Structure 1
Amino acid sequence: MTHRLFLLLVLLTAPQAPVLLAQEPAADESPAESTPAAPQRVDVEPVAEDEQIAKRLERILTATEWFRSPSARVEEGVVFLGARCQTAKQKQWAESLALNTQDVVAVVNRIEVDQPSLLDFSPATSQLDTMVREAVQAAPVLAVAVLLLVLGWFLASLAARLVGHLSQKRVANSLLRGVVTKTAAIGVMLLSVYLALKVSGLTRLAATVLGGTGLLGIVLGIAFRDIAENFLASILISLQRPFRAGDLVTIDGRHGFVQSVTTRGTQLMTLDGNHVQIPNATVYKSVIENVTANPNQRLSFVVGIDYTDSASEAQQTVLDALKSHDAVLNDPESLVLVDDLAASTVNLRVYFWVNGERHSVLKVRSAVLRRVKRTLQQHGFTLPDEQREMIFPHGITVQMASDEASQPAPVAKPKAAPSDPNAEADTESTAAEGDLSPERRVIEEQAAGSRPLATGDNLLEENGGG
């Protein structure tokens, strides 16, 4: 009784505003439950009795269904709350409710918060339930985004076919047509991805995708500079067409027949039957000697005659020998020029033309050399070696100084005449030289049975061979 009187005196001397006398320590609240804020004021009557306040608070706590065994006791405006709840927010809500009730001067909050069990999976299930709910709510948006992506895919394919059809007649190069069609398809697909991200609410990510596309291109261009350089060079080579498949070319010191040009390199087969692949960047920047571009090729060789022979007669004899050979072209005409006065010979340089598409230049050169040698020998011309050759047709008398009496030396036998030049067969080619056919046929046969160095479309296939 004394305690109650002392409490009453304290309440009478306290300010009229509600004061919190006691409060249980708040337990850790769960983020899974969201509790609305307590009302600012609950009016009962102009002058509320303690019993009315207690009943009103109990009914409110029971109506919320948040509290188990709720109880409210009021003595002289001091509310004593008792119950059990699941979260600290619910406990704080009940306390705010009592403080905002009319004629309540203080609240003693004895509501106990349940401590979660070690095997309590309710937070995880609650979080999972929230995720499922959010996924269900986002399902329509995701469906629209997926629909945009599928529509973008079909539109990209349609754009590629349309651009390919339009460029079929306007762009002759197949590689350039492929680049144009792929660029159109990629542009449409990027637009669809941007719209899908925009619809999904990922506006910032959509802007990052568009901005990152250009940055990614720069990074890839630096990282794969050589590959990009070869690719661009392949486009330029296929546009400018410095050679065709089957042409005999010399590129960067490599001599051979062109087999193919891919997006990476140009493949040659040398006259020895070896595959050589040269990067397109090197091909584009190198000096290209295309032997097949003009089918007619000029060959030359040097032949030496004796100083006692007539140079003009030898020139005419060699020229006649050239004209008599079927593989030597009459137009352009052949030339036989005095090239050098050497130590023991007068050198004649012989020029003649051969059609490289119909005949092998190596075989024709061999056959022409053989015919020129035979013709010069038939007409009595001497083909001396590098040393000076002196011939004494009537011999020479030699007398030894130690001989007491001069004895005539035996007459030296004249040098044996060479074998009859007519014995050589007067044919265009010998069995050793073959049929004078060009090497290209042999190289094509070897290339057909060999393994290519690189895979991919041949950019020269549309041009065909020469």
Structure 2
Amino acid sequence: MPQLHPRLAAQHFLARFAGFMLAAGWGGLSQIYGRMQLWKFKIQDLTLASSRLILAITLCCAILTFTSVAAQQSDGIDDTPLPVKATDGKLEQPGKVEVKPVARDDQIRQRIADILETTGWFGEPGVTVQKGIVFLKGTTEIDESRQWAGDLAKNTEGVVAVVNQIEVAPTTVWNFEPTFQVLKELARGFLRLLPLIVVALVVIVLSWIFAWLTVKVLRCGLLGRALSHLLREVLARAGGMLVMLAGLYLVLRISGLTQLALTLVGGTGLIGLVLGIAFRDITENFLASLFLSLQQPFREGDLVEVAGVTGYVQRLTSRTTVLMTLDGNQTQVPNSTVFKSTIRNFTSNPNRREDFIVGIGYDDSIPFAQEVALKVLADHPAVLDDPEPLVLVENLGPSTVNLRVYFWLDGGRLSWLKVKSSVIRLVKRAFQEAGISLPDEAREVTFPNGVPVRIMESQGAAESAEPVLKKLAAEPETVATKAEASLQSEAREIKEQASKSWTPGENLLTPS
């Protein structure tokens, strides 16, 4: 049952007692009336009944007087609960505070002062009421509390006006209470999450162990395959990364972050795309190195021509292809350029064809000149018989008929530069010995007034041919001259120089 106010309970008890006494007095009157009806009453009984009636009337008057005074005092009681702060930190607006139909200044002051002291939001609150005008004094920390006190006074019944003199005193800079409160909240949150953190750490450690084992197993499994070291390493680490991502996804699911876990799995490709765009050149070279190591268009030591650079391949790194040029310089070509360019590998097929042009006079026989050149090629030890050499007419020049000479040689064993020099030298000597003229376009002269001609004796002509024959006799008939050295390829010397040079990066080419 609900509990009554103490004053109300006393009023209830006195009302019941007064009713009881009235009932007793009424009983006495009933007794006197009955005695009078039966003519059996006595004087003593009449006196006793009269005294009971007087006592009951007196007690009833006293009780009624006390009850009226208590009721007037109880009219000032208000059981309205004190206002509290809302859940979002803002103060609720105070409701209507009723005192009584005609409230006195002291009652208004006492009620408002009690409410302000009970809230605990104000320092040294003071309330003064004069003819319904409320004067509020004191201090508070926030302006909302000051506004709330003014609204409270306005809503109090009997208040005519409110003079709000409460001052807002900002908190001191060195008040660490909010900081300590936040730290306490963080500590409680950490304790609540401690079991989840332990489970997450265990899952991450197990995922790392399984990822490490996966990398080891994939390395051993791919070791017997014809793959480059870089490709094997990339495949092994990709498998380990998948296992690690699976463990991280499990941790996020255990933590209740399902959406974040799905975002992580779905965003892995997006992250890779963003990184690919940001590091486009680096990523392009790295992917090109993977494809080159997988396809292997050349091997270590091969003579190749890439992007206009001719040289022997030293190594293929994750970024560049290192070449040693024929003049002994080390050149690094980006792998993306190598992958997109045309690659000429001179070592894959050791046979190499060379050619050059020689011009003869219009008065000379072309078939005879071809036979002379073919005989030189057939007698040359460095020229291959299969495929057979060719001497073809290239074009008709201003003063010469140009012949192009084609021949094949073993490029893996011989130097094509040296062999070409030897063949050109021997063809020129054979043409001179055969009387085939070799006119020069640069010495062609025009005579607009004609050329005077003088017939000389044959002896003079014979004498003029002697210096030419002496020059031909002075030329050696050997295949290779001292200036040409041997016809062997210089690849071994260049490779020796390359082995002594410092080459950056790890070689991704499998040994030949």
Superposition TM-score tier, normalisation by shorter sequence: 0.5 to 0.7
- Candidates 386, 389, 396, aligned match of 2:454: 396
Name the amino acid aligned to 2:346.
V
Name the amino acid aligned to 2:377.
L
**1:132 aligned onto 2:187:** yes
Q: List per-residue Cα deviations over 1:425-456 (Å, max 9, x = no partner).
A: 2333223222223243343234334444xx43
- Candidates 214, 224, 229, aligned match of 1:159: 214
Give the structure 1 partner of residue 380 of structure 2: 325
Q: List per-residue Cα deviations over 1:199-221 (Å, max 9, x = no partner).
A: 34444443443333232122222
Give the structure 2 partner of residue 459 of structure 1: 508
- Candidates 52, 69, 72, aligned match of 1:10: 72
**1:147 aligned onto 2:202:** yes
Distance 1:439 1:87 in 2: 100
Distance 1:22 1:169 in 2: 84
- Candidates 219, 242, 251, aligned match of 2:297: 242
Name the amino acid aligned to 1:322.
L
Other structure's SS at 2:381 match: coil
**1:177 aligned onto 2:232:** yes
Give the structure 2 partner of residue 421 of structure 1: 472
Give the structure 2 partner of residue 57 of structure 1: none
Distance 2:477 2:279 in 1: 62
Name the amino acid aligned to 2:454.
I
| Identical positions, percent | 45
- Candidates 293, 316, 322, aligned match of 1:267: 322
Other structure's SS at 2:79 match: strand
Structure 2 gap ranges (5+): 1-65, 90-110, 122-170, 446-452
Distance 1:320 1:121 in 2: 107
Structure ranking higher in helix proportion = 2
User: 363-372 or 334-343, which moves further after superposition?
Assistant: 334-343
Superposed displacement of residue 161, structure 1: 1.6
**Judging changes above 3 Å, is the alpha-carbon distance between structure 1 residues 345 and 415 closer, same or farther for their aligned structure 2 residues?**
farther
Distance 1:315 1:148 in 2: 84
Distance 2:182 2:454 in 1: 127
Q: List per-residue Cα deviations over 1:29-53 (Å, max 9, x = no partner).
A: 9x9xxxxxxxxxxxxxxxxxxxxxx
Give the structure 1 partner of residue 484 of structure 2: 433
Other structure's SS at 2:392 match: strand
Distance 1:153 1:27 in 2: 50
Other structure's SS at 1:347 match: strand
Structure 1 gap ranges (5+): 32-77, 89-115, 390-394, 399-407
Distance 2:85 2:464 in 1: 132
Q: 1:343 touches 1:388 (CA, 8 Å); kept in 2?
A: no
Superposed displacement of residue 355, structure 1: 0.8
Q: 1:255 touches 1:270 (CA, 8 Å); kept in 2?
A: yes
Other structure's SS at 1:327 match: coil
Q: 1:335 touches 1:352 (CA, 8 Å); kept in 2?
A: yes
CA RMSD of aligned residues (A): 4.2
Give the structure 2 partner of residue 444 of structure 1: 495
**1:219 aligned onto 2:219:** no
Other structure's SS at 2:477 match: coil
Q: List per-residue Cα deviations over 1:121-148 (Å, max 9, x = no partner).
A: 5665455445434434433322221121
- Candidates 380, 383, 392, aligned match of 1:337: 392
Distance 2:185 2:362 in 1: 112
Other structure's SS at 1:213 match: helix
User: 168-177 or 136-145, which moves further after superposition?
Assistant: 168-177
Distance 2:397 2:174 in 1: 111
**1:355 aligned onto 2:410:** yes
Give the structure 2 partner of residue 67 of structure 1: none
**Judging changes above 3 Å, is the alpha-carbon distance between structure 1 residues 168 and 27 closer, same or farther for their aligned structure 2 residues?**
closer
Superposed displacement of residue 269, structure 1: 3.3
Superposed displacement of residue 333, structure 1: 1.6
Q: List per-residue Cα deviations over 1:145-177 (Å, max 9, x = no partner).
A: 112111111111111122222233456344332
- Candidates 244, 261, 276, aligned match of 1:206: 261
Give the structure 2 partner of residue 72 of structure 1: none
Other structure's SS at 2:223 match: helix
Q: 2:227 touches 2:293 (CA, 8 Å); kept in 1?
A: no
**Judging changes above 3 Å, is the alpha-carbon distance between structure 1 residues 374 and 190 closer, same or farther for their aligned structure 2 residues?**
same
> Aligned pair count?
365
- Candidates 55, 71, 79, aligned match of 1:20: 79
The TM-score, its normalising length taken from structure 1, stands at 0.65
Q: 1:163 touches 1:181 (CA, 8 Å); kept in 2?
A: yes
Other structure's SS at 2:209 match: helix
Q: 1:27 touches 1:87 (CA, 8 Å); kept in 2?
A: no
Name which structure has the greater RCO, CA cutoff 8 Å, separation 6+. 1
The TM-score, its normalising length taken from structure 2, stands at 0.60
Distance 2:335 2:329 in 1: 19
Superposed displacement of residue 191, structure 1: 1.4
Superposed displacement of residue 118, structure 1: 8.7
Superposed displacement of residue 397, structure 1: 4.6
